[in-house]
Chains A and B, each alone.
Chain A
Amino acid sequence: MSLRWFSNRTRKDQDFAEEIESHVAHEVDANTAHGLSPEEARRKAHLRFGNARTVREREWRDRSLPWFEDLKRDFSFALRALAKAPGFAIIAVVVIAVGIGVNTAVFSVIDAVLLKPLTYPNPEELVSLTNTSPEGSFPGASIPRFSLWRQQTSIFQQVAAYDFGGAGLNITGSDHPQQVEGVHVSADYFAMFGAPVVAGRTFTAAEDSPNGGHVTVLSYGLWKSRYGGNPNIVGSTIQLDGQPYLVVGVVGPKFVTDTPADLWVPFQFDLNSKDMVVFFTVAARLKNGVTIPQANAQLRLVADQFRRLYGDDSLPHGGGFGVASLQQELIGDTGSRLLVLWGAVAFVLLIACANVANLLLARAAARKREFATRAALGAGRGQIIRQLLVESLTLSLTGGLIGLGLGFAGVRLLLKMNSGDIPRIGEDGAGITLDLNILLFTLGISILTGLVFGMVPAISASRANLAAALNENGTHASIGVRSGKLRSVLVIAEMALTVVLVVGAALLVRTFMNLQAVDPGFAMHNVISMSMSVSGDRFQKTAPVAQVIQQGTDRLHAVPGIIDAGVSNCLPMAGGFGMSFDVVGRPKGNSPSTGGAGFCSISYGYFNSLKIPLLRGRSFTKEDDAAAPLVAVINQAMARQYWPNGDPLKERILIGAGAGPAFAEGSRQVIGIVGDTHDGGPNRDPSPMMYIPLAQMPDLETALNSRVAPLWWFVRSQVDPRTLTKTITTALREASDGLPVAHIRTMEEIEATNIARQRLNMMLLAIFGSAGLLMAAIGVYGVMSYSVQQRTQELGVRMALGAQASNLRNMVIRQGMTLTLIGVVVGAGGAFWLTHFLKSFLFGVKPLDPISFIATPLLLSFVALVSIWAPAIRATRVDPMTALRVE
């Protein structure tokens, strides 16, 4: 009712006016009837009724909400007041928009990553099963572990296994073979994650057991893109790696898994297997009411049981099982990273607040007479404060609205350029959507901001001394010592906050430069990589895989412009699989093996394709095949660590001793030492690596590999390899009898994603730092300009008394720089304390990096000096005559 009630008000008032008129007319009639003259009758009638206007006004007010009316009046007044000072209003709104925009941007990422729950039903019940050890916990499972875990029905509703990343599968049987993300899962997977089935069903327990037949479930995306949403797809057969697979179901579009999948096939584990190889990952849904600590307690007992079943060696000393929240697992350390960013943007907002408060103070000083006049006319102190607050809220809400758009668009744009390796934000940050959280957050900080920067000037303006202000000459009503000091304090605060921001930015820039300067140990220029899935029955033995590699390599060698091509089963730049080894004849002491190292199977062209230098001995050749003696090449880090004094080239190593039957093989002669590579990214030290020829892998290992990882091709060319993409893919498909390739990326692109998070951190902090710097510059400029303007008369007198222009200029500069220097010192102190929070983000630079700590204050002082220069010059241009004549 209330809204219509308000809109009816004017009409009702009109009605009332007529009613009053009618009343008075009747009174006049009555008076005339009593024999009064018409004038007298009229006069008496009006007298009797009283002041009609007052009555109407009272009624008008009665029909309104007083505070609402006042607010409306204050608001329209604020708009008029701001319209009168458009320059001020625009600067203030822009500063606030930037301050709030960066906050909205960072908050929207925090919202998507940390606050939004996983898209699965009851995500808080989902846990990932981990292997615990004194060094920490890591996911990963073998069939015996999975088998034992899924028996724990007292704590878990479901336990499901799925691939870490997956080797990929090839859809064949048409002219367009396609490599797809095919994920192996156990039958409970879909039920556990609550996957909606849009057609057919998911796997039955029988289909997920050995010899359960070839079945698959399609994702909505693949069903639409490859099969055109064919409604009869369920029950039909598709070809995967040359084998017919029965499509049993399609899951809904809303089912988005962390590892994106195009289709799923059942693991078909033999649950009685004693194979200890860890090659997949396991998650579970906790039973209702079971907490993570309870589950962990139970799993400790399960670990003991595991040891009893499979022997003491089956788990490492001090190792056990545990669970961790799946969401936590996905987020990893992103939380702390985002919080550091949030700290930075909070600084930007504080600087923005200080800046606008400063502007408002200056404006309040100029409007001092206005407030005094209003106070003299009866406005209470509360009313003046309220009106000023409404003004600042008008500014902050406008700024907030612009900031919302700016921040939201900005973050999408930024993440499109560089997703920064942040989990859960989707493709190019598409997972970041405008939701109620973000709207409320922006509204909240807009109001808070308006109150914070508005309160100080409002209170200080309302404190004005009436008589003094009215008596002052309007042109230089002084702001008073108190608010003059206040403004100086605000500038100091801005400077200090900016120093902290810029020091942080400098540290991250140095980190990024250091990372880029690291020699990765292999060639990145003109090298392209791509994956080839060797899944399917055809590749369960080593010989056919080796044949594909050799034929592919031969084909590529024939392509003009290609220098060399090589293959590895390790993800580019991700390091090898960890593997234990023994040095033959070396006593092991108490430990089960000599040590551990990264392990990669490669083709003979690998080192040359990536220009990994051979330091000693020889590299692999075509002749190092299955028939030849077993050989291995190690890297320098491994030679240093395990042969500090000896010569590895004189020794043999036994790789994967005790790691399971798949890895059982004879000992290998170490034939060469190659240079170290920074596989785990430039910020990781090279770790020991051992390489063996792909052609010499045991068959069982090849079979296992075909399920865990694809082959990665690396092709180096004389020209930009992207121009050869088509030639390369065609050559490889022909050489492999129809295998497609996917994930085609240059090494430079991979490198870029490897340091994407550092690049994003650096970019963001650089943006925040620049924003802070700009605002601080505006702040110090504003204060000094204002001070010069206020002191026109004093400067005039000084000049008249013979002060040199340079004296006056230096005086202004001295004052401005004093504020700056205090701010810089305070800020450096703050940075001293705050930069240690950045420690884990830095590489090759200490939190107390002297260069950053020296360069930043210098930069800031320089910027401040430039900002002060203009007002300082203005001080020297004061014409003494004009200045004195003002009085």
Chain B
Amino acid sequence: MVMKRPPEAGEILQGTLDMLILRTLVLGPAHGHTIAQAIEWTSENALEIEQGSLYPALHRLEDRGWVSSEWGVSANNRRAKFYRLTIKGRKELNDATGRWRRMTRAIGLILGESFE
């Protein structure tokens, strides 16, 4: 049985965050802090992850079976919960990336060249 939750504001953004997290995990299992840093660094700090929303997103992904998690020890020798992409998650990442590409292309077509 799937629990229905009330839709939250910023559905697109939330969906985007999910996609970014899944993309980060393609490289291998990571804990929350690494994921946040990886997103920030890879985007050249253009995207700043609100850390308070990272974890709810991770838990949501786990509920949907797109990632799995287990406690382990980090590079800093600290206890941390590591998230791993599942097969279902990999497929979802593919779908989401495709959707994103189509959408950005469509938006790009409408906006056209710059106006200077």
Contacts and interface: CB of A to CB of B under 8 A. Distances in A.
A48 interface: yes
A54 B80 CA distance: 21
B76 to A, nearest CB: 5
Nearest to B58: A19
A18 B81 CA distance: 9
Nearest to B51: A49
Contact of A22 (B3, B6, B51, B78): B78
Contacts of A226: none
Interface string A1-27: 110010000001001101110110111
A26 B55 contact: no
A58 interface: yes
A413 interface: no
8 shortest interchain CB distances as A-B pairs: A26-B33, A55-B52, A50-B52, A22-B80, A1-B1, A49-B51, A23-B33, A19-B81
Nearest to A15: B81
Contacts of A62: 5, 56
A15 B51 CA distance: 17
B74 to A, nearest CB: 7
A2 B56 CA distance: 19
Nearest to A62: B5
B55 A59 contact: yes
27 contacts: A1-B1, A2-B1, A2-B3, A5-B3, A22-B31, A22-B33, A22-B78, A22-B79, A23-B31, A23-B51, A23-B55, A23-B80, A26-B31, A26-B33, A26-B76, A26-B78, A48-B51, A49-B52, A50-B52, A51-B52, A54-B52, A55-B52, A55-B53, A55-B55, A58-B56, A62-B5, A66-B6
A12 B58 CA distance: 13
Interface SS of chain A: helix
Contacts of A66: 6
B51 A50 contact: yes
A734 interface: no
A492 to B, nearest CB: 47
A243 to B, nearest CB: 70
Q: Which residue among A5, A15, A23, A27 has the maximum number of chain B CB atoms within 10 Å of its CB?
A: A23
A16 B81 CA distance: 9
A19 B37 contact: no
Interface string B93-109: 00000000000000000
Interface string A40-57: 000000001111101100
A58 B52 CA distance: 10
A55 B51 CA distance: 10
Contacts of A751: none
Contact of A20 (B6, B37, B55, B79): B55
Nearest to A22: B80
Nearest to A6: B3
Interface in B15-39: 31-34, 37
Contacts of A719: none
Q: Which residue among B55, B79, B80 has the maximum number of chain A CB atoms within 10 Å of its CB?
A: B55
B59 interface: yes
Given A19-B32, A62-B5, A29 B56 contact: no
Nearest to B4: A65
Given A26-B76, A26-B78, A26-B80, A19 B55 contact: yes
Interface string A53-97: 011001100100110000000000000000000000000000000
B50 interface: yes
A58 B33 CA distance: 20
B59 A59 contact: yes
Nearest to A5: B3
Interface of A: 1-2, 5, 12, 15-16, 18-20, 22-23, 25-27, 29-30, 48-52, 54-55, 58-59, 62, 65-66
A372 to B, nearest CB: 31
Given A2-B3, A16-B55, A22-B79, A50 B50 contact: yes
Contacts of B32: 19, 22-23
Contacts of A49: 51-52
Given A1-B1, A27-B33, A29-B76, A22 B81 contact: yes
Interface in B55-112: 55-56, 59, 74, 76, 78-81
A27 B1 CA distance: 37
A140 B31 CA distance: 89
B64 to A, nearest CB: 13
Q: Which residue among B31, B59, B74 has the maximum number of chain A CB atoms within 10 Å of its CB?
A: B59
A680 to B, nearest CB: 65
Given A22-B33, A23-B33, A52-B52, 14 more contacts: A19-B81, A20-B55, A22-B31, A22-B79, A22-B80, A23-B55, A25-B76, A25-B78, A26-B31, A26-B78, A54-B52, A55-B53, A59-B59, A66-B6
Nearest to B48: A48
A49 B49 CA distance: 10
A466 B34 CA distance: 53
A58 B55 CA distance: 11
A19 B83 CA distance: 12
A16 B1 contact: no
Nearest to A12: B59
Contacts of A26: 31, 33-34, 74, 76, 78, 80
Contact of A16 (B31, B51, B59, B79): B59
Contacts of A27: 33
Interface string B1-13: 1010110000000
B14 to A, nearest CB: 12
A30 B38 CA distance: 13
B78 A29 contact: yes
Contacts of A1: 1, 3
A556 to B, nearest CB: 78
B2 to A, nearest CB: 8
Nearest to B79: A22
A67 to B, nearest CB: 11
A29 B34 CA distance: 12
Contacts of A18: 79, 81
Contacts of B3: 1-2, 5, 65
A51 to B, nearest CB: 7
A30 B59 contact: no
B56 A59 contact: yes
Contacts of A12: 59
B20 to A, nearest CB: 17
A58 B5 CA distance: 12
Nearest to A65: B3
Nearest to B50: A50
A15 B56 CA distance: 13
A23 B80 CA distance: 8
Nearest to A19: B81
B95 to A, nearest CB: 24
A48 B51 CA distance: 7
A26 to B, nearest CB: 4
B6 to A, nearest CB: 8
A62 to B, nearest CB: 6
A733 B77 CA distance: 104
A48 B40 CA distance: 14
Contacts of B53: 55
Contacts of B81: 15, 18-19, 22
A58 to B, nearest CB: 7
Contacts of B31: 22-23, 26
A301 B2 CA distance: 65
A73 B27 CA distance: 45
Contacts of B50: 50
B12 to A, nearest CB: 19
A16 B55 CA distance: 8
B59 to A, nearest CB: 7
Nearest to B37: A30
B66 to A, nearest CB: 17
B68 to A, nearest CB: 14
A22 B82 CA distance: 11
A882 B88 CA distance: 78
A22 B76 CA distance: 11
B9 to A, nearest CB: 13
